[in-house]
Chains A and B, each alone.
Chain A
Amino acid sequence: MNHLATPSTSSTDYDPVSVTIFAKALENIAQEMAAVVVRSSGSPVIAEAVDFAICLLDAEGEVISYGGYIVSYIGTARRAVRHLLDTVPAERIRPGDAFICNDPFTTGSAHTVDVAIVRPVFVDDEIVAWCWAFAHLFDFGGVAAGGFAPMATEAYAEGLRLPGVKIVDQGVVVDDVWRLITTNIRVSQLVLNDIRCLIACCNRGNDRLLDLVSEHGLDTFHRYSVTSRDLVEQAARERIRALPDGTYSVDEYVEHSGHQPQLLNIHCDVVVADDEITMDFSRSAPQSDGFVNCAAAVTTGFAVTPLFVSLFCDLPINEGALRPITVITAPGTICDVTLPAPVSSGHMETGLKIGKLVSGLLADLQARSEDPFVQAHIMAPWHDSFSGSIFYAPDEHGTLTPFFDMNGGGAGGGAQAIAEGMDVGGCLSQTMNTIPDIEINESDYPVLYLWRKLNRNSGGLGLMRGGDGIELAWTPHYTTGGSQNVFTACTEVPPAGVFGGYPGSASGFRLVRNTGIWNGFAQGDVPRGLDDLQGEVVELDAKQFGLALAPEDVLQMHVGGGSGYGDPLARTPAAVASDVRAGIISEKMAREGYGVVLTAGDPDASATDALRAELLSGRTEWEQERLPDDGVLGGRRLAVRRSVASSRLATFDQWVHHNPLVHLVEYADPDSGELLRTELVVDRQQHVVPQGSAE
């Protein structure tokens, strides 16, 4: 059990202006700490992908301010401080100390390259607060460079684990720990540099917190700190109270363990009761012997992320927002890993799927709220998957540098009540996601891109369209060729849309060998898609490693789109026509998915009306089913269509990897034909949940 809630003390009398200014001062401290990291690191992972976070916690480990570029690591921050409090004797924690934490099993890191420094803040002999600063570093040892180890069957292969080890002792760096790290990791110079940045960052946090304490006095500091959490808690409870009470069950699926394709069930039982939410993941699949498992703290982080960007998006992030939420996990499952199972991609696999599961449910609940703020923030799930592509090849000087293509962060965003989904939005939790310039990648690595565009038709159908993912292809250039790894987490089970919106296309890779592309260039031919290339197109497995890539070979990455919002037959024909003219969707999708017929690029009004009427009446002829009383559509009799997802989506000109067990279920009003809901369902009669061999 991992309860987030500790009962709050009722806030005493307070001056709201002083508390507001105080809360801003705390945010400033987190911001200033972040500036220290960004300015002094220079690492592209930190500066461009902003893969780091800052947290201030009180003496007991409650979050008082979170400077999150990546919101989902809040669970990790709390876990790390909790672990230090529980395991390090109080007399061994002294002013000027700092601890290094990256162990998924004790300090809640997602994987070993996510390294945090934790520093206690002392006033005289008393700990008054903690600073926590984390960043994704280049490497932390283990069998795979860079921290993602699909080949691992145990965590022991995934790098050096440090469960809160003192790295600075009363202001002096502990040389033995430094030497231990240096000995066990790759590119140690760069990694140690970033660790120094994190220490400097926590030092700055310490100084600023002490300034704040001396400005206010310790009692006032505590009082304001408690009050600002209580105020956030009250507001968070108000927002939850706006959601309908009820009990819901939601499922998602991890698709591939790293060793083999297999569907691993994430099951969540949700209870919304008055002003509290409980999310119970304990009936999820047993942990796997592949790298997809999550630490409980990471599960917590991903479960609360959709709330932070939606229901609570205007509230500061602190413990108060977490109090009304309870996350329950069972040790030994993919959502609460125990040794020795591996974890190095757990956040990218199980974690992101948890986020999508909560996003989808939240949208359903928000829709039944009267609160205009809650209504305006309804959003379909994002595609929320990062496509990993690593090419390792010598350039023309023989220099070998691994090329990690950050275009993999090009997944589509979910459609919103107020807007289309964001194209190329990346993952929901990464608010500052960026995609590289083609020229930067080509200048640093031996590749030539043939195209990079929006992945046509990838956004889910809907009244509001899901955001498109990215699609690109490149060929080795200025190299004799090299080795290629690909890994993606969402090829078979994209998240469903909301209120009759559809899922988007899924993500994958394709390889074409011996394309004859240079002959084509010489003759003035431009390939505009895989169809223009010679050679057979091979669809790659969701995770494939060590592919040999030669000049003239072409690798295509196609990243999935976000889910749609609302019945696509309600989308205005003009908007559909505009998307067709822009080349974002095909005429086939316009016709089959949106029921819009175009003549010379413009909607043909009468043909469109006729086609839409036909599609609507077709839906009323679907087989009728009475739905169970619990659940979002509670007990209604609806027209239901069940089909294999890959085949059904192909009729709209979309793609997901074919798996006959994955079904798309569409629910329509049996009288009007209005589409009310879509779901992705795995045929569990056919599907045997594999047992993790790590147990």
Chain B
Amino acid sequence: MEYQIGCDIGGTFTDVVAVDAEGRVYSDKADTTVEDLCVGVVAALQNLALRVGTSLEELLGNTNRFVNGTTSVTNSIAELKGARVGLVTTAGFGDNLLIARSARNRHRDHNLQVNLPQIVPRELVVEVPERIDRKGAVVLALTEEAARKAVDQLINSGVEAIAVSFLWSFRNPGHEELVAEIVQREHPDVFLSVGSRLHPKIREYERTMTAVLNAFTGIRVAEYTSRIESELATRGLRVTPVFMQGFGGTLSPAAARQRPIALVDSGPAAGVIGAQALARRLGIEHMVTADMGGTSFDVSMVRDAETLVVERVLLREQFLTAVPKIDVLPIGAGGGSVAWLDARGTPQVGPQSAGAQPGPACYGRGGTTPTVTDASVALGLLDPGAFLSGRRELDAAAARQALQSTFGPSLGLSPEQAAAAVYRLVTANMSNGVRAVTVERGQDPRQFSMLAYGGAVGVFATDIARSIGIRRVVLPPDAAVFSAHGLIASDDVRTLASSVNWSGGDAAETIQVLRHLDEQVVGMLREVGHPESRISVQWQGDFKFAGQQWELRVPIPRRPDLDVADLLAIQSDFASLYEAEYGPGTAWVGSPVLLGSVRVVATGAVDSFAPAQVAVEPFDVTPDHTRTVFLPLEGAKTDVAVYVSGQLTPGARIVGPAIVEQDLTTVQVGRCWQLDVDGWGNFVMTDTDDGSSPPPELQREMALIGARGELS
């Protein structure tokens, strides 16, 4: 039997999923081992082999595809741990990273308005006499002597990596290449990162930052990819593992070592790619993805079955980079998020998290501040004895005590009422996150389904959805390890972009750039063995009205005979394309339309093993038992039906309120939600409320009256 394996290294757990050629799905996890990620990977794979019922060597030996999503790059940037980097840059502009386009941010609290940490200490920024202007003309020629002097200076300062980034290098890369060649020839062991090779587009700050972060993370990634390759090979893996990129699609280890920054945030991306595959399977066009783990709630969307890719990305909320990446919004709302009282005396939840140590109070590891998980326990939504299949006993008394001591004295709430408050607040925060990625981008959430995954989401999913008008929630059977599964669904993708400068008239140069990029990316895929017939290529152009800040990405037909007429056609359609995106009346009619950059995306199709589907016949299920739960939105204790692992097989149908206890996660089915298990084992939950019951806020208000009646 052949297998495909996805392995997602997260902050806390390393998740693994195997799918076999007949569509059987196996999953497991192990603790992430931060000091050496490979140890956790091997441990998780050993657990997985047990699930499959074979040895690790047998499993890996029969694996024809191994996809890894790694936090190595994300961690390196988050912890500011990486190589000692030197930067060679244009004379007069060495303070670029200190100026940081002004490091101001959205925070009103000035304590949070401070200078950025510097990836390259200013002493390791070397300015060289060179200058190129906006037309690519050489204003001041760089001499080989000056270039070598700069490189030697950095080498003598003990740098491990060198980034090269000059003004206008994307128009004329000659000077950057001169420095690059010296480094490659004379110091082949030093990691090299060149602005115009990584991102040949206008805006020197993000190009330079990209080159610098690429250099900063490069050595770690090179070490990691080499180690994982050899560790897996010695345990029998016969194919080369591939690595997930932040915008979806995989890279070979060699390509990842060239462009490590492409791996940033690949974990969240994998989840969204998995969601996209699932959406296609289920025939869903628009989907909000909602991933709730221990520390955060990550929201993104799949619209018209496409993921949302952005190119200007603020990493660590500090470093503006030009890395194409799936746009995922993280909200500080997870199982470990801490509940507290603010200066007004009103309760708040997150964004701080209790982390893994001490963790929620109910973990019994010394935590005394109440968390979201504590609230779920106090409400009775989580069974203390059934958490993670009973692998971890939860201390309900500690949870209640933590809630009581934080909210009891000043608000006079009972532990259940305090827990309900925490539940409502965190649900509101997550609902606001969903609102931000839909409503604030001009999308109506009522047109969307929600795909919910991650270990902590099951308890909240239907309530989040209802609060924002989403009427269908899909919870995959492997929700707790869904990102790992998403890796398997990912095709092999390469992309390159380049600045151009076309506003009408002769387009020969622009078209030449497109063809050149096309050759490069297709070449990369051929090199790793994709036949021409299985490579699909898209051309895109970023157009805008002269004087505007926003560009709109427009497809450009990929034809051998593409000519200026095709571009002129896009130009004349642009106003209507723009208004379709931003609304009627928003086009800058009369302003020239400019094409500022082009991008080529090449996808090498991969034969992913898909999970098997069984035919289903709906049937009703009798609950295993009932439990008294304090339903937080209703503010009252209710006996709720509880279903346990194995009861809900394809075809099963239940109606909320209900609780389903799965191996690695617990699901709350809200009142009036109908849960159907489909042929793949997905929980498809539909809101059957026809609007006759009062809106949720009013329900809360009514509930409150009840709660207050008890209090007074």
Contacts and interface: CB of A to CB of B under 8 A. Distances in A.
Interface stretch (B63-71, B200-208, B529-537): B200-208
Interface string B570-593: 000000000000110110111000
Interface stretch (A163-171, A257-265, A417-425, A603-611): A417-425
A232 B96 CA distance: 41
A315 B348 CA distance: 12
Contact of B100 (A17, A18, A31, A424): A424
Nearest to A406: B102
Interface string A211-223: 0000111001000
B528 interface: no
A524 B115 contact: no
Contact of B343 (A31, A235, A419): A235
B636 to A, nearest CB: 15
A18 B129 CA distance: 62
A617 B601 CA distance: 69
Nearest to B103: A422
19 contacts: A15-B708, A17-B421, A21-B425, A24-B432, A32-B439, A35-B442, A43-B549, A377-B111, A419-B114, A419-B115, A422-B104, A431-B104, A431-B108, A435-B102, A437-B203, A442-B168, A443-B134, A448-B133, A528-B91
B36 interface: no
A409 B202 contact: no
Given A193-B586, A432-B106, A582-B123, A231 B99 contact: no
B143 A216 contact: no
The 3 closest A-B pairs by CB, nearest first: A451-B92, A582-B122, A47-B549
Contacts, number: 246
Contacts of A425: 102-104, 113
A525 B139 CA distance: 11
B515 interface: no
A42 B586 CA distance: 9
Interface stretch (B210-218, B353-361, B666-674, B692-700): B692-700
A378 to B, nearest CB: 10
B156 interface: no
Contacts of B606: none
B101 A435 contact: yes
A216 B699 CA distance: 10
Contacts of B134: 439, 442-443, 478
Interface in B186-241: 202-205
A231 B93 contact: no
Contacts of B561: none
Contacts of B141: 524
A345 B348 CA distance: 41
Nearest to B596: A443
Interface string A517-549: 000010011111000000000000000000000
A215 B697 contact: yes
B545 A42 contact: yes
A197 interface: yes
B202 A42 contact: no
Contact of B701 (A220, A436, A452, A477): A220
A606 B348 CA distance: 52
B99 A452 contact: yes
B40 to A, nearest CB: 36
B440 interface: yes
A190 B590 CA distance: 10
Interface in B342-380: 342-348
A19 B114 contact: no
Contact of A17 (B140, B347, B439, B549): B347
A521 B139 contact: yes
A310 B441 CA distance: 31
A440 B343 contact: no
B148 interface: no
A438 B167 contact: yes
B101 A434 contact: yes
Contact of B101 (A418, A420, A437): A437
B512 interface: no
Contacts of B92: 449-453, 526-528
B95 interface: yes
A73 B115 CA distance: 26
A454 B347 contact: no
- Chain A: number of interface residues, binned into ranges: 35 or more
A234 interface: yes
A524 B143 contact: yes
A453 B109 CA distance: 27
The interface centre, meaning the residue of A42, A68, A308, A433 with most chain B CB atoms within 10 A of its CB, is A42
A189 interface: yes
A229 to B, nearest CB: 11
Given A32-B440, A454-B95, A521-B131, A377 B123 contact: no
Contacts of B105: 431-432
B439 A21 contact: no
A232 B202 CA distance: 45
A630 to B, nearest CB: 28
A431 B547 contact: no
Given A48-B549, A452-B96, 15 more contacts: A16-B346, A16-B421, A20-B425, A24-B429, A32-B440, A47-B550, A232-B344, A416-B110, A420-B115, A424-B99, A439-B134, A449-B93, A454-B98, A477-B133, A581-B123
Given A42-B550, A422-B114, A423-B98, A21 B122 contact: no
Nearest to A21: B428
Contacts of B104: 422, 425-426, 430-434
Contact of A467 (B115, B205, B346, B547): B115
B107 interface: yes
Nearest to A233: B344
Interface string B411-424: 10000000011001
A454 B700 CA distance: 55
B622 interface: no
Interface in B499-544: 544
A135 to B, nearest CB: 14
A239 B344 CA distance: 11
Contacts of B553: none
A71 interface: yes
Contact of B93 (A453, A478, A583): A453
